[in-house]
Amino acid sequence: MAKTGQKVLVGCGIGCGVIIVAGLLVGGGVGLLLKDVASSFKQAGKTEEILVERYGAADDYELPAFGVVTADRIEAFLTVREATTEARTGIATAIARIEDEDNHSKGVRAIVNKIKAGVGVGTDIGRLLEARNRTLVDVGMGIGEYTYIYCLAYYALLDHSPADGPDGGADIQIGGRGTFITVSEEGDDDDGQGGYRQVRRDLRRMLRRQAQGIGEEATADEKAWRARIETELERMSDDRSYVPWQIDMPEPMANALGPYADRLDATYVPMVNLFELVPADD
């Protein structure tokens, strides 16, 4: 788990090509700073183990009937979002500090400040994940359900972009093998686009499983729903950046989420988006 926290710093280049790991090789206090990052991810990893044990991995989540999220689950989701506000603010502040140093400062002092801000990003990402996972345990929600509601609310309903993040998502890697988030204009593969890659795989598996569970003995409404899922899967195949229900969200879905739109949007920070669904251990 601690390795993931360190790799946040190793792969996180934010603003004008700043590679934080280069600066981290300088200075006797770096070890202590990295311990903070490792500790924050270790705590997140412990709670994530509990989540996986209780609810399975993200792609194990069974979608609700007709994909409609009920009011109690939206409230539970919002509880998690509100519990992660402080860490989200910390990440955005640290990223802004790095970008400010890039634009206005030069020399050794600028490098030192970038190091401190970079470590702040790593530590706050760990804190974000720990607060997220701990509150998910408290409200009885798995990471798969959280991922589904996150994408449905922020990407489909509110039309935010999965690529939202520092520098538009350029040059950021997070994960034990750099496989969860690799956001750049090059090096993409058929599994998805940038930070949406792993999330996309999970969503496809959720959708396919629900469609496959609707047999020929199903009702007319269920068969119609299966056809809609198949359309969404086709759209995802045609466009690797496509988010399910982005074009024409079914009315029951929109009606369920609509009353919460303002509260949901208030908990979304574009600069932090890429870090929201990161696994604590890769």
CA triplet 226, 230, 235: central angle to 5 degrees?
150
21 found inside a domain: yes
The residue among 180, 210, 209 whose CA lies nearest residue 192 is: 180
Contact at 8 Å (CB) between 91 and 5? no
20 found inside a domain: yes
pLDDT-derived band of residue 40, with 50, 70 and 90 as boundaries? confident
| β-pairing verdict for 172-174 and 181-183 | antiparallel
pLDDT in tens, 41-73: 888 889 999 999 999 999 999 999 999 999 999
In the chain, the amino acid numbered 256 is A
Q: How far apart are CA 240 and CA 233, in angstroms?
A: 11
**Which range of residues forms the domain containing residue 198?**
2-47+67-271
- Residue of higher predicted confidence among 260 and 10: 260
The residue among 42, 19, 24 whose CA lies nearest residue 34 is: 24
pTM: 0.80
Q: What is the pLDDT of residue 124?
A: 84
SS3 content of the chain, % helix, strand, coil (to 5): 70, 5, 30
Q: Following DSSP, what letter does each residue of 81-92 receive, concatenated?
A: HHHTHHHHHHHH
59 found inside a domain: no
pLDDT in tens, 229-265: 999 999 999 998 899 999 999 999 999 999 999 999 9
8 found inside a domain: yes
CA triplet 265, 68, 156: central angle to 5 degrees?
40
279 found inside a domain: no
Residues 6 or more apart in contact with residue 102 via CB below 8 angstroms: 15, 16, 18, 114
* Domain total in the chain: 1
Residue 176 has pLDDT above 80, yes or no: no
- Residue of higher predicted confidence among 107 and 87: 87
Query: By CB neighbour count within 10 A (0-12 exposed, 13-18 middle, 19+ buried), where does 215 fall?
Result: exposed
281 found inside a domain: no
Q: Stretch 165-184: mean pLDDT, rounded?
A: 47
Q: How far apart are CA 2 and CA 156, in angstroms?
A: 33
Residue 223 has pLDDT above 90, yes or no: yes
53 found inside a domain: no
278 found inside a domain: no
In the chain, the amino acid numbered 262 is D
Q: Stretch 168-172: mean pLDDT, rounded?
A: 50
